[in-house]
Amino acid sequence: MEQERRKTKRTDLESRLVIKRLDGNSGKEVTIRIGDVSKSGIGFECEEALQIGEVYEAYLTIWTKEVIHAFLQIVRIELQAGCYGYGAIFIGMPEMDSARIEVYQTVNGQ
């Protein structure tokens, strides 16, 4: 059995996220499916090939229907059936936004 290495709890969030690269090479927005979210990062699926180590701008719609503007750095990529699985960490997320995620986890006992 593999030991859990995550530093914070993860929450499944049925939401959609639109991201775009920051380097100016691509203004294309891509919709992704979020599998889990924590105050430090997210796991998601996407049909587009993204680059590990790259930073993307993101607009995350959370369970309260509020939109959190964040920057994500891709840290993990897995090839899955018909799409890619990604892990990303939040870069420079305001404490107020990460606290919203933590409060949701506390209230829902996750």
Largest CA distance in the chain: 43
Alpha helices in 1-110 (DSSP H): 95-107
**Residue 88 confidence (pLDDT):** 95
Structural domains of the chain sorted by starting position, each given as residue range(s) with its CATH number in brackets: 16-107 (2.40.10.220)
- Digitized pLDDT (tens) for each residue of the chain, 110 residues in all: 445 454 555 454 545 556 666 666 656 777 888 888 888 899 998 888 888 998 888 888 777 777 888 889 999 999 988 899 999 999 988 888 888 877 766 666 55
**How far is residue 44's CA from residue 32's CA, in Å, rounded to a whole number?**
7
Q: What is the 3-state secondary structure (H, E, C) of 53-78?
A: CCEEEEEEECCCCCEEEEEEEEEEEE
**Residue 14 confidence (pLDDT):** 46
